[in-house]
Amino acid sequence: MKISLMLNGTKIEREIAPDLLLIDFVREEGCYSVKRGCETSGCGLCTVFLDEKPVLSCSVLAARADGHAVTTLEGLQKEAEEFGAFIADQGAEQCGFCNPGMIMNAIALFRENPDPTEEEMKEYLAGNLCRCSGYEGQLRGMKAFLEYKKQGGAV
C-alpha cells in the first residue's frame, strides 16, 4: 500500500506493508530519537506528534498516518534544545534513553497548557518510563523552564 505524509515538514511518499508500525516507519526514515522500549505502549519512548498531538508510535500503524503530519524530536530541535538544557541542568538525563519521549511529552504539555500545575506535570511524566532518575530532576527541570519562560525567555 502507498502512503503519503509530512514527516518533520518533508513530504514522504512510500510503499509500505499494511502492518508496518509508525515507529518502524519513522526510524526507517532516519528519525532515531524515536525508540522502542516496552512494545506494550507503556514507556513513552516512542512518542511522536501526529497532527500535533502526542501518540505512541509503537501502537499506531503507519497507514493511519497517511495524509497527516508526523513530527519527531528531529523536527523540534529548537524547542527540544532549549527545554533539554533545563533537564540536563537538573542532572535528569543520567542515561538519556528516556529523554526523547520525555521531551516530546513536555513540549506537548507546554503547548497545551503554558502554565501547568505540578500535578499536571506529573500526569504528563507518568506515561514515560525512566529507570535512572525517579522523575524528580525532570520535574525540577520543567519548573525551571516554566519560570524561565515567565521571565521572558523565548523559544
Digit-coded pLDDT (tens) for 27-85 = 999 999 999 888 788 888 999 999 999 999 999 999 999 999 999 999 999 888 888 88
Split at pLDDT 50, 70, 90, the class of 95 is confident
Q: Is 121 exposed, middle or buried (0-12, 13-18, 19+ CB in 10 A)?
A: buried
CATH top class, domain 76-150: mainly alpha
Q: Domain locations in the chain? A: 2-74, 76-150
Which of 11 and 98 is assigned the larger pLDDT?
A: 11
Question: Any residues with CB less than 8 A from the CB of 112 and at least 6 apart, and which?
Answer: none
Find out whether 105 and 127 touch, Cβ atoms under 8 Å. yes
Residue 130 scores a pLDDT above 80 = no
Digit-coded pLDDT (tens) for 9-33 = 999 999 999 999 999 999 999 999 9
- Residue 8, pLDDT score: 98
CATH top class, domain 2-74: alpha beta
